[in-house]
Amino acid sequence: MNFIDYAKQLRELIRVLERKLGILEDNGFSCCGITISQCHALVEIGRANSISLNQLAELLNLENSTMSRTVNNLVSNDLAKRDIDPQDRRYVTISLTDNGQKVYEGIEKDMNLYFKKIYDTIPQDKKKQVLESIEILLEAIDKSECCK
Residue 81: per-residue pLDDT: 97
Phi and psi at 52, nearest 5°, equal -80, 160
Residues 46 and 65 in one domain: yes
Q: Which residue in 34, 32, 37 sits closest to 68, CA to CA?
A: 37
pLDDT given at position 73: 94
Single pTM value for the model: 0.80
Residues 79-125 pLDDT 10s: 999 998 788 878 889 999 999 999 999 999 988 998 999 999 999 99
24-33, 65-74, 86-95 — which one is most confidently predicted on average? 65-74
Name the E strands within 1-79: 51-52
What are the DSSP E strand ranges found in 13-100?
51-52, 80-84, 92-96
Considering the domain architecture, whether residues 18 and 39 belong to the same structural domain is answered as: no
Same structural domain, 64 and 124: yes
